[in-house]
């Protein structure tokens, strides 16, 4: 299978369907090999617009959702980004390709910290990121991401890729003023993408499209 041709076909469809608008997100989706983040036996499906199982009852999100969430987050070169819910590591790689572009001077690079609660998935994501060439731009941490990762705070951008009943307060605390957070918020069976911006006057939020994510399990998420 010609994965590069498949990637170009998917990206052009994501643009036509309105999930993808900016040059930076388009470049990142064209650069990151999604086939390296899905299980070997599902590689042929890597460029279909659907979530795929990655083990332990978890999924890699559909490319349209990755595109939309990345557009809403609006990351930039040099940003420090926190992702909650590493899963396969694919979304972290897409974020890394924007904040620390391949080929750009290293002094300009930002960094992505990504937290995963299931140790086996974190290990698998580290391997995927290594193979795809992103292990120097993404640090995978095992833990309860509803508590954030205070060790590297504050962050310019925070993305949550599991469904939460509300935005975990520690994440808003660890977001810098002027920073932005995107998360799927709702009940277990239906959520909306919520964008939160931290301003000097407080936090402003607005809603985007409806989505369906696996639950965020932790102190400020759902209980196991």
Show which residues are catalytic: 61
Are 154 and 174 in contact by the 8 Å Cβ rule? The answer is: yes
Binding residues for ligand SAM, rule: CB under 6 A, are: 58-61, 84-85, 87-88, 90-91, 115-118, 121, 144-146, 161-162, 213-214, 216-218, 221
Residue 180 phi/psi, 5-degree rounding, is -135, 145
* CA geometry: angle 90, 214, 81, nearest 5 deg: 40
Q: Which of 194, 206, 157 is nearest to 179 (CA)?
A: 157
Residue 35 vs 116, nearer CB to ligand SAM:
116
Residue 11 vs 214, nearer CB to ligand SAM:
214
> How many CB atoms neighbour CB 102 within 10 A?
13
In whole angstroms, the minimum distance from the beta carbon of 44 to ligand SAM comes to 18
Residue 62 vs 195, nearer CB to ligand SAM:
62
Residue 108 vs 131, nearer CB to ligand SAM:
131
With b for 16 or more beta-carbon neighbours within 10 A and e for fewer, the 199-208 pattern comes to eeeeeeeeee
């Amino acid at each position: 299978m010609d994965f590069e041709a498949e990637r170009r076909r998917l990206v052009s469809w994501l643009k036509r369907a309105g999930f993808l608008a900016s040059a930076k997100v388009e470049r990142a989706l064209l650069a990151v090999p999604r086939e390296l983040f899905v299980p070997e036996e599902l590689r042929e499906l890597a460029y279909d617009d659907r979530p795929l199982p990655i083990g332990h009852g978890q999924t890699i999100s559909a490319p349209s959702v990755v595109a939309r969430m990345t557009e809403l987050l609006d990351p930039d070169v040099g940003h420090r980004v926190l992702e909650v819910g590493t899963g396969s590591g694919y979304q972290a790689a897409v974020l890394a390709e924007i904040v620390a572009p391949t080929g750009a001077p290293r002094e300009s690079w930002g960094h992505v910290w990504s937290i995963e609660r299931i140790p086996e998935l974190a290990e698998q994501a580290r391997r995927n990121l290594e193979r795809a060439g992103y292990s120097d731009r993404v640090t995978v941490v095992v833990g309860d991401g509803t508590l954030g990762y205070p060790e590297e705070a504050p962050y310019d951008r925070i993305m949550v890729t599991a469904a939460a009943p509300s935005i975990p307060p520690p994440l808003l605390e660890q977001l810098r003023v002027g920073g932005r957070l995107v998360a799927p918020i709702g009940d277990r069976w239906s959520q909306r993408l919520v964008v939160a911006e931290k301003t000097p006057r407080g936090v402003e939020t607005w809603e985007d499209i409806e989505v369906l994510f696996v639950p965020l399990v932790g102190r400020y998420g759902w209980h196991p």
